[in-house]
């Protein structure tokens, strides 16, 4: 039995669903462009540079969820999937997932982006296991706060270990463990698996992958 872990944004997707969700809300007039676009761009640049303060970002990203009923958010997300997400899904990404599924591997999307944004995307790929940052909920509505450990940098290791423990597994339970990611932020988890793959890597990850002899893959 093998384990296949997939980062989502800029890995399986040719773009960043976290960033694009805020841009979508700006485009349909839910968020004020003047107030939010500059912040959204700044946080995205910090993420790419490896300097993101995840708590500050989550405060920015999750607060808008608390201002609207869940039923309304779900309707907006359906439009978001059609207009923003589907164009970011490439055929090579779909084929990669299908290869692992056909081999009988346990497939998991593990992403820093919150589960409200990413759960429908995981379903689109046919991947039933999702480890994502969890927005706190009360009575089915979002509070604007995060629940538990964000699935970011070392937090991905924490969240993955908890997920494995719940199922009676460890990473050593698998004959092979593969993690596909584009980002330097995922170096902590990439160092834990047996087969790290730099997929559409940023410059820092590409240099590290070449130095370590890791496989480099282009899904775009």
Mean pLDDT of the chain: 96
Concatenated DSSP letters for 6-41?
E-IIIIIBSS-HHHHHHHHHHHTTSS-HHHHHHHHH
Look at residue 35 in the predicted model and tell me its pLDDT.
Answer: 84
Q: Is the pTM of this model over 0.85?
A: yes
Q: Please give the Cα distance from 107 to 68 (Å, whole number).
A: 32
Which fold would CATH assign to domain 2-217?
Rossmann fold (3.40.50)
9 catalytically annotated: yes
Question: Could you give the 3-state DSSP secondary structure of residue 147?
Answer: strand
Task: Convert the pLDDT of each residue in 64-75 to its tens digit.
Answer: 999 999 999 999
pLDDT above 90 for 128: yes
Task: Convert the pLDDT of each residue in 134-175 to its tens digit.
Answer: 999 999 999 999 999 999 999 999 999 999 999 999 999 999
Where b means 16+ CB within 10 Å and e means fewer, 27-57 reads eeebbeeeebeeebeebbeebbeeebebeeb
Structure-token match 């296991």, residue found: 129
Concatenated DSSP letters for 120-138?
HHHHHHT--EEEEEEEEEE
139 catalytically annotated: no
Structure confidence at residue 34 as a pLDDT band (50, 70, 90): confident
């Amino acid at each position: 039995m093998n384990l296949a872990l997939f980062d989502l944004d800029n890995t399986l997707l040719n773009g960043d669903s976290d960033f694009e969700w805020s841009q979508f809300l700006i485009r349909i007039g839910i968020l004020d462009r003047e107030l939010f676009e500059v912040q959204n761009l700044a946080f995205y640049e910090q993420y790419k540079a490896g300097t993101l303060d995840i708590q500050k970002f989550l405060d920015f990203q999750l607060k808008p969820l608390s201002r609207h009923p869940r039923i309304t958010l779900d309707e907006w997300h359906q439009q978001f999937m059609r207009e923003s997400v589907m164009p970011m899904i490439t055929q090579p990404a779909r084929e990669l997932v299908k290869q692992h599924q056909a081999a009988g591997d346990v497939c998991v999307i593990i992403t820093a982006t919150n589960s409200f944004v990413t759960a429908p995307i995981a379903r689109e790929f046919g991947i039933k296991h999702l480890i994502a940052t969890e927005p706190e909920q009360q009575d089915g509505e979002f509070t604007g706060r995060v629940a538990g450990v964000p699935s970011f940098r070392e937090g991905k290791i924490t969240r993955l270990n908890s997920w494995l423990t719940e199922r009676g597994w460890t990473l050593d339970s698998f004959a092979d463990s593969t993690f596909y990611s584009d980002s330097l932020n995922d170096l902590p988890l990439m160092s834990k698996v047996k087969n790290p793959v730099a997929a559409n890597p940023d410059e820092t990850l590409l240099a590290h992958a070449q130095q370590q002899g890791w496989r480099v893959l282009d899904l775009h």
